[in-house]
Amino acid sequence: MTFVQLIECRTDKVDDLNRLMDSWIEQTRGRRTATHSMVGADRSDARHVVEIVEFPSYEEAMRNSKLPETDRIFHEMVALCDEPPTFTDLDIVRDDQLNKAAVRQLMQRMSAGDLSVFDELLTEDYHDHDIADETDAMGREAIREKCAGYLEAFDMNFTIDSQMADGDRVATMWSFSGMHKGDFMGLPATNKRVEMTGMTVFRFRDGMACEGWWNWDNMSMMRQLGLVRM
């Protein structure tokens, strides 16, 4: 279970706190267990500073706290604050990464042939970039038509292998498996099963994907179908 520690203090020395954190990150490389750290200043009270540190688990946080550098940074942090910092330990019981969930839903429903998902999760002006196509698909209807063509050609199944989110973008590594059941690039159905891997990056706006970049092993697919030879 993910564990988060909130550290609150009062200080006007935020720049010094940041330099202190930079030093700790450098000195604990290869040993620290913290995976994510943020420092925020209260808009209504700039002296109220909150640091949020994320760990894979409580046990990993305790292991991190035993590092000598962590003990040192704590004492130096106390010296920068008007009063001793307060700590709140939180076990995360819910963590909704909404854009990642939207991508999972998009790919699952698309695989199942439910193209109404585009109306729910793609903006009307959606812009699609695909390594296999010289021309980008512009607009929700263009990508719907393109996907319909793939569904006619293949019994599609996407498996999501991993995802990463950064700001308004979600990167998804996926595996594809499908039986060639209809015309594809002029090739009639071969009933061959093809497999490949790829990655898609979606950019989100107001909770909907507005742009996507597809990078996939299309040459592997064509080799499996006999369209190209080594």
* Percent of the residues in the chain that have a pLDDT greater than 70, as a whole number: 98
| One-character DSSP codes across the chain | --EEEEEEEE-S-HHHHHHHHHHHHHHTTTT----EEEEEEETTEEEEEEEEEEES-HHHHHHHHTSHHHHHHHHHHHHHSSS--EEEEEE-S----HHHHHHHHHHHHHHTT-TTHHHHHEEEEEEEEETT-SS-EESHHHHHHHHHHHHHHEEEEEEEEEEEEETTEEEEEEEEEEEE-S-BTTBPP---EEEEEEEEEEEEETTEEEEEEEEE-HHHHHHHHTSS--
C-alpha span between 4 and 128 (Å, rounded):
37
CATH number of the domain that residue 8 is part of: 3.30.70.100
Q: Is residue 7 predicted with pLDDT exceeding 90? A: yes
- Could you read off the pLDDT of 21-30 as tens digits, one per residue? 999 999 999 9
| Lowest-confidence segment of 43-52, 110-119, 218-227 by average pLDDT | 218-227
124, part of any domain? yes
83 and 184: one domain?
no
pLDDT band at residue 1, thresholds of 50, 70 and 90? low
What average pLDDT score do residues 204-225 get? 90
Nearest to 209 by CA among 95, 112, 120: 120
Of 169 and 223, which is predicted with more confidence?
A: 169
Residue finishing a domain among 91, 109, 129: 91
Residue 104 and residue 75 in one domain: no
Looking at residue 219, its pLDDT comes to 80
Quickly state the pLDDT bin for 224 (edges 50, 70, 90).
confident
The answer to whether position 63 is within a domain reads yes
pTM exceeds 0.85: no
Domain boundary among 56, 91, 126: 91
- The pLDDT tens digits of the residues spanning 46-98 come to 999 999 999 999 999 999 999 999 999 899 999 999 999 999 999 998 888 99
Residue 52 within a domain: yes
pLDDT at 223 over 90: no
Same domain, 214 and 121: yes
Task: Find the radius of gyration of the CA atoms of the chain.
Answer: 24
Is the domain of 52 the same as that of 78? yes
- Domain range for 197: 98-225
Residue 114: the pLDDT is: 94
Q: Does residue 193 share a domain with residue 150?
A: yes
